[in-house]
């Protein structure tokens, strides 16, 4: 077990020693930024405001070696079935591989199939954009509604929002995920059946929410156009399950397939990314793939000491397992990246929210953190108080682009000033003496001044990473997402858990399946605990009234 290695013990001992605060580390070393930051093709990662020294980083490198990270990385890129509980490879890197080299799973080059689906996506996106694909009544498609949930929603939804600046003006994109009818109804209210295309995205094509939304969307379309045959021009599917797609009534030529070696939360690079190609144009989608592929090459080839995903993962483990942080705040200073925290929530928490090790035994160490976030500057006026002065240690990732994607007066300068100020404030804090001097300058003195001092002190020494993009374009977005994907992989490999299954979502699905007929039926049920029985009765009672 990783906690039994000398590398883990050395890190624990290091964490227990008294270490200078960040303010002192910066004061002692003017070169700290240069030494703890790195740039890859317009993407800069700065770890200098993390509570690490050269010694910390060297000990973390020992931990990576103790966990055989190099071996796990080789197994990942070798197409081995490292998703052992589902007996699948984890090979989304093939989806963004744009070179001529083969990418092999089980001795078979998957690239010909991958390229064929890319060609199908390009042809379809082009046909929609040039008007050669039209609706049942011959009208051009103006609205695209993606129906999917989890990995079949969050990635394309986030990417389309992130790249809004290069969105095509002729297509309105909508995303429907929630089984709450409000979601679909609100999307449909903005659409006209004659000009709307539905993309039903589901790896399994069995997900309850998606199937319910797809069935209601289909009923809306058929009612609106008065013809069952209209489905053929207004519905396409993205799935691994051809039989279920056909059973739903979508012709196989209108299906975009992907493969079981693509995890749901890693699937935006597959045909699940079709909405990105439809909203932005297929070439933009390939630029996104190219950015991710550049990060793949870096992750595969760079020394661990210079490897951005590895460094990010190790710093995260330091915070999580040795400094006692429970959470990670992801704070994009970009309205366009407002959905990045939700996307990363699934990526990180569904992957590493595990408490069973690869050997089947319960882990005794912390695994994935609670990930949350909001775009800056909004979060500053909501929950940052706790990050600055609360009792918990919450490491933050601050993300921004140097260039504005929606230039407007001096707005971007204001945004970037805050992007710079918050990590600096967290790192420096404000001492009692600094508070006193400020209050005195404001005219206070004596007891009135002293009473305020403890409340206005900021402890500082609160860690953060800054990620700066040259600009928020498809390539940099692809790099950024792949950076986080590989970080999550590295952390899971070191924690010794299975990062690519998600059994924890099953129980609730099973119970919901059992409760559905009970909710509909007239009989009183006593089949559950008293709370569930009581709530069920209350719902039924109020609905009857």
The site for ligand F6P (CB under 6 A) is made up of 149-152, 202-204, 207, 210, 264-265, 350, 502, 505
Beta carbon of residue 496, minimum distance to ligand F6P (angstroms, whole number): 21
> 3-state class of 496 per DSSP?
coil
In three-state secondary structure terms, 504 is helix
User: In terms of CB distance, is 264 or 376 closer to ligand F6P?
Assistant: 264
Instruction: Provide the token pair at 236.
Output: 């396409």
Least separation in angstroms between residue 269's CB and ligand F6P is 14
Q: Which is nearer to ligand F6P, 414 or 505 (CB)?
A: 505
Cβ 201 vs Cβ 213: under 8 Å: no
Concatenate the DSSP letters of all residues of 358-386 into one string. TTSSBPSS--SPEEE---TTGGGGTTHHH
Strands of the sheet containing 143-147, edge to edge, are: 172-176, 143-147, 196-201, 235-239, 255-257
Question: For the packed helices 54-66 and 69-77, what is the interaxial angle rounded to 10 degrees?
Answer: 60
Q: Which is nearer to ligand F6P, 210 or 464 (CB)?
A: 210
Question: Smallest gap, in angstroms, from Cβ of residue 257 to ligand F6P?
Answer: 13
| 174 catalytically annotated | no
- 8 Å CB contact between 201 and 195: no
Least distance from ligand F6P to the Cβ atom of residue 357, Å: 21
> How far is the C-alpha of 274 from the C-alpha of 118, rounded, in Å?
9
Residue number with CB closer to ligand F6P (200 or 230): 200
Least distance from ligand F6P to the Cβ atom of residue 241, Å: 8
Active site residue: 209, 286, 287, 350, which one? 350
Q: How many residues does the chain have?
A: 545
Query: Whose structure tokens read 């099953």?
Result: 506
DSSP assignment string, 253-281: GGEEE--TTS-GGG-TTTGGGHHHHHHH-
> For residue 387, how many C-alpha atoms fall within 13 Å in the half-sphere facing its CB?
27
Tokens at 490, concatenated: 């590295």
Chain-centroid distance, C-alpha 155: 7
CA distance 66 to 488: 18
φ, ψ for residue 24, nearest 5 deg: -70, -35
Residue 271: CB minimum distance to ligand F6P, A: 12
Task: Write b or e for each residue in 77-88: b if 16 or more Cβ atoms lie within 10 A of its Cβ, otherwise e.
Answer: bebbbbbeebeb
Peptide bond connecting 226 to the previous residue in cis, omega within 30 degrees of 0: no
- Please, which residue, 154 or 393, has the CB nearer to ligand F6P? 154
Active site residue 47: no
Q: Which is nearer to ligand F6P, 150 or 423 (CB)?
A: 150
Task: List Cα–Cα distances, 308 to 40, 270, 289, 369, in angstroms.
Answer: 9, 24, 18, 19
If the CB atoms of residues 266 and 295 are measured against ligand F6P, the closer one turns out to be: 266
Q: Residue 244 or 290: which CB sits closer to ligand F6P?
A: 244
Nearer CB in complex with ligand F6P: 344/435: 344
Active site annotation includes 381: yes
Selecting among 306, 381, 424, 450, the annotated active-site residue is 381
* Shortest distance, position 149 Cβ to ligand F6P, whole Å: 5
State in angstroms the smallest separation of the CB of 485 from ligand F6P.
14
- 539 half-sphere exposure, CB direction, 13 A CA radius: 16
> b/e per residue, 334-371, with b = 16+ CB within 10 A?
bbbbbbbbbbbbbbbbbbbbbeebbeeeebebebbbeb
Q: State the Cα–Cα distance between residues 421 and 133, nearest whole angstrom.
A: 50
Least Cβ distance, residue 270 to ligand F6P (angstroms): 11
Tokens of 423: 């990590």
Closest CA to 482 of 342, 297, 212: 297
Q: What is the Cβ-side half-sphere exposure of residue 364, based on CA atoms within 13 angstroms?
A: 5
- Least distance in angstroms from the C-beta of 109 to ligand F6P: 25
Kindly tell me which of 261 and 318 has the beta carbon lying closer to ligand F6P: 261
- Nearest-CA neighbor of 469 among 337, 299, 352? 337
Nearer to ligand F6P, 48 or 152 (CB): 152
Catalytic residue among 306, 411, 424, 509: 509
Active site residues: 350, 381, 509
């Amino acid at each position: 077990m990783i906690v039994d290695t000398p590398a883990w013990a050395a890190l624990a001992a290091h964490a227990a020693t008294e270490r200078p605060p960040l303010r002192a580390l910066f004061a002692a070393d003017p070169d700290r930024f240069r030494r703890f930051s790195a740039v890859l093709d317009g993407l800069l990662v700065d770890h200098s405001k993390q509570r690490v020294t050269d010694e910390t980083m060297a000990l973390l490198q020992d931990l990576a070696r103790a966990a055989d990270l190099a071996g796990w990385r080789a197994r990942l890129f070798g197409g081995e079935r490292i998703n052992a509980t589902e007996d699948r490879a984890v090979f989304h890197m093939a989806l963004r591989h744009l070179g001529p080299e083969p990418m092999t799973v089980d001795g078979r080059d998957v690239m010909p199939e991958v390229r064929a689906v890319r060609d199908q996506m390009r042809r379809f996106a082009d046909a929609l954009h040039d008007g050669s694909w039209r609706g049942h009544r011959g009208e051009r498609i103006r609205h695209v509604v993606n129906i999917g949930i989890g990995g079949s929603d969050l990635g394309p939804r986030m990417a389309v929002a992130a790249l809004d600046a290069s969105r095509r003006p002729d297509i309105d994109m909508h995303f429907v995920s929630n089984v709450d009818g409000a979601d679909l109804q609100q999307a449909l209210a903005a659409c006209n059946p004659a000009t709307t295309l539905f993309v039903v995205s589901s790896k399994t094509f069995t997900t309850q929410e998606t199937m319910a939304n797809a069935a209601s969307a289909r009923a809306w379309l058929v009612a609106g156009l008065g013809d069952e045959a209209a489905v053929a021009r207004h519905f396409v599917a993205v799935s691994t399950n051809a039989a279920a797609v056909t059973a739903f009534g979508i012709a196989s030529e209108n299906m975009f397939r992907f493969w079981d070696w693509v995890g749901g939360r890693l699937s935006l690079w597959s045909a699940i990314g079709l909405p990105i190609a439809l909203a932005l144009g297929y070439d933009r989608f390939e630029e996104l793939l190219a950015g991710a592929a550049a990060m793949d090459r870096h992750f595969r080839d760079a020394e661990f000491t210079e490897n951005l995903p590895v460094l990010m993962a190790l710093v995260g483990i330091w915070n999580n397992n040795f400094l006692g942080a429970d959470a990670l705040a992801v704070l994009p200073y970009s309205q366009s990246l407002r959905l990045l925290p939700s996307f990363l929530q699934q990526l990180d928490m569904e992957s590493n929210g595990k408490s069973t090790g690869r050997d089947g035994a319960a882990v005794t160490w912390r695994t994935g953190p609670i990930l949350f976030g909001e775009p800056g500057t909004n979060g500053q006026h909501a929950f940052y108080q706790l990050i600055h002065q609360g009792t918990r240690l919450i490491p933050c990732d601050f993300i921004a682009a140097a260039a504005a994607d929606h230039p407007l007066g001096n707005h971007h300068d204001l945004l970037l000033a805050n992007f710079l100020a918050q990590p600096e404030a967290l790192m420096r804090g404000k001492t009692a003496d600094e508070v006193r001097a400020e209050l005195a300058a404001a005219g206070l003195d004596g007891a009135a001044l002293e009473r305020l001092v403890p409340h206005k002190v900021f402890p500082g020494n609160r860690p953060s990473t800054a990620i700066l993009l040259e600009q928020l374009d498809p390539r940099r977005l692809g790099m950024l997402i792949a950076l986080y994907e590989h970080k999550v992989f590295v952390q899971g490999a070191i924690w010794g858990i299975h990062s690519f299954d998600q059994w924890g979502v099953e129980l609730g699905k099973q119970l919901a399946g059992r409760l559905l007929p009970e909710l509909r039926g007239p009989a009183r049920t006593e089949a559950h605990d008293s709370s569930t029985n009581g709530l069920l009765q209350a719902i039924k009672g109020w609905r009857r009234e």
